[in-house]
Amino acid sequence: MLLTIAVILLVLWILGLVIHVGGALIHLVLVVAVIMAIVHFIQRHAKR
């Protein structure tokens, strides 16, 4: 679930860079996506 949201945020970030919308907000979306992906992999690793 977290990985899906992270991928969606990453796609939105790429679209924001192409369309030039959002300024610093676009980079904040990237940071949130990366953090969510890291949390997902940590939780997945902890379940093993």
pLDDT (tens digit, 9 = 90+) per residue, 33-45?
888 888 888 988 8
Q: Tell me: the pLDDT tens digits for 3-47?
A: 888 888 888 878 877 887 667 777 787 888 888 888 888 988 887
Cα dist from 46 to 1, 37, 39, 43, whole Å:
16, 14, 10, 5
pLDDT of residue 37: 86
Total structural domains within the chain: 1
Q: Where are the alpha helices (DSSP H) in the chain?
A: 2-19, 24-47
| Residue 6: domain span | 2-47
Contact between 10 and 40 (Cβ < 8 Å): no
Q: How many Å apart are CA 29 and CA 10, to the nearest integer?
A: 7
The closest alpha carbon to 14, from 1, 33, 39, belongs to 33
